[in-house]
Structure formats: structure tokens, C-alpha cells
Amino acid sequence: MVSFTAGMIDATISAGTIFIIAALGEIIAERAGILNLGMEGMMLVGALAGYATTVITGDPWIGLIVAIIGGIAMSAIHAFLCISLKSDQVISGVMLTLLGTGLTTYFGVEWTQYSIDGIQKTTIPVIGQYLLEIPLLGPALFRNPPTDYIAFLLVPTVWYLLFRTNLGLELMSVGEDPETADTMGVSVFRLRYLAVLIGGALAGLAGGHLSLAYSQIWTAGLTAGRGWIVVALVIFARWRPLYAVAGAYLFGMLEALQIRIQSLTLTIEGAPEIVNTIISFFTHPEIMSTYPYFITVAILAITVARSERGASAVPSALLKSYSREMD
């Protein structure tokens, strides 16, 4: 049981990294007033671009950089459509998800036959070997792919950027009241572009972590709906980076549990057969794979209820186009 728990913690952290990085990108974009439902497509493009580059160059770090560039390229399309052309943000985002899914399915076929070493786990220099001796948490926290550490560092960095810098406060102002922000000399157009591009870069980074560090394989639809979960996670976190960490590890734990519970036989000795049948049903991997989506629906339902009571933390100008800077 100790080894199972240690393995669960380790897998939860690595799986949670995907959600943390992508959620931070979505928070930045939505704080500026731009909803990005193309997160799934951007993550897929980043995952394939990073994987293919790693196969070609043999260097996963170059692959990770290309993954980020792939995410930025996809987000640039979203920014141009939503900010410059003032297209519907929901339609644009869904289109990008379909585009990313189609492109990676078509161009990714030939890359499924390759294997890579990817980004390997490492320890913190000098003190890492001592920290590994901590029971349960040692290997899970102090022997990880570097992308896990990058995610840890991004959380306070994004929090500080948004809530403790002039740039962050200006960015949030264009997501709350772009008219007033424009009157005060803030460039709504430029800040929204910046926010969407940063969000795309982090989506690409999340996709790169998925294919290069977490799974170290490529297959069509590798993200498996994680991009949609990220959108709900941002709502769950009330658009705050620190809260997003808890949600990310919740979804990461469900994903890790779905895989690792297959090695366990969960029954209650002496219990009626119907009880063990129910336990077997709800712990079946196929059934457990639906849990994140049930949680996602629940989060959206709670958000709607909060909105009706006026208690939602959603940025006021989210989904609203602004034309002053284009006149």
C-alpha cells in the first residue's frame, strides 16, 4: 500500500502539471476578456510539434520550444479572429479545437511509429538526493521532469504578474471594463493580443509536457479532452492561479487513479455480492474515465447558479468585443 500511495502521489503531480500550465494560460487570456475554447487544439498542436521535432533533432528541449511556438501560432489565429475581426469567441475557439484535432490527426499518422526518450526525471542539484529520503513525498516532489518544476514556478510567477504588477492590473482592467481602461490610456488591443499569445504559449508548453515528459508517445487525440477540462478548471479556480493548483491536482489524481486502480482488487470481505458488484462497477477504469467530465459539468452548473445570484467571479468583459482602438 505504501508503494501504491507513493506511486499515486508521483503520478498525480505529473498529470496535474498538464492542467496547471494550461490553466494558467487560460486564466491570463480570460482575465483580459478573451475566452479560449481552442485550448484542446492548441495543446494537440504543441504536443505533436514537440514530439516530431524531438524525433528529428533528438533533443526534447528543442521539441519543447517548438511546442510553445506551435501553441503561439494557433493562439495568433484566435487573437486575430476575436480581437481584430471581432468574431464570436466561442465559435473561434471551437473552430481552433476542430482545426488542431484535424491537423494533428492527419499529420501525426507517420509519427506514431517513432519512440523517444523524452524529458527524463531529475533531482534538485546538491540537496536532491537527501530530499528523496523523505517517506512518500520525497520521490514524488523531488525527482520529477523539469517541466514539473517549471509548473511549480509558473504559479507564483503568474500570480505576482497579475496581482502585483502594473502590467497585470492593466491586463485585468481590460477584462473588466475596457472602455474605462482605454480612457485611462491602456491599450486594450495590445494587452488582449499579449494575453491570448501568452495563453497559447502555455497551452503549447502543456502539450509539450504531455507528449515529451508525461506519456513520451504520440497518438491521435493524445490530449483526450484535457483542454475542455482546463476551461472548467479555470471556472473552478475562480480565475485565480493559486486555486487552480488544487483543481489541477484533483483532476490529476483522478487520472492517476484510473490507471493505477487496475492493479488492485477492491472488495469488502463478507459483504453481500451486490455491494462488491457496485464497487467493481464504479472503480472500473472505463467508468472512472468519465469522472472528470461529471465534475466538469458540476462545476459549470455551480457557476451558472452563482451567476444567477450575482456571486460569480467571471471577468465582466469576458466574451465582449471592443472596437475603440480600431477606430
pLDDT (tens digit, 9 = 90+) per residue, 146-195?
999 999 999 999 999 999 999 999 999 999 999 999 988 899 999 999 99
Window from 98-107, 197-206, 223-232 with minimum mean pLDDT: 223-232
Cβ atoms 196, 79 nearer than 8 A? yes
Prediction pTM value: 0.90
Q: Is 6 left (phi over 0), alpha (psi -120 to 50) or beta?
A: alpha
Q: Which residues contact 104 (CB under 8 A, 6 or more apart)?
A: 44, 45, 47, 48, 220, 222
Q: How far is CA 219 from CA 107, 275, 290, in A?
A: 11, 38, 20
* Residue of higher predicted confidence among 285 and 59: 59
State the pLDDT confidence band at 10, using cuts at 50, 70 and 90: confident
Question: According to the model, what pLDDT value does residue 302 have?
Answer: 74
Domains: count for the chain:
1
- The average confidence (pLDDT) of the chain is 88
- Kindly report the number of other CB atoms within 10 A of residue 91's CB atom: 12
Smallest CA-to-CA distance from 40 within 95, 100, 85, 91 is with 100
Q: Which domain holds residue 282?
A: 2-326
CATH code at 275? Answer: 1.10.3470
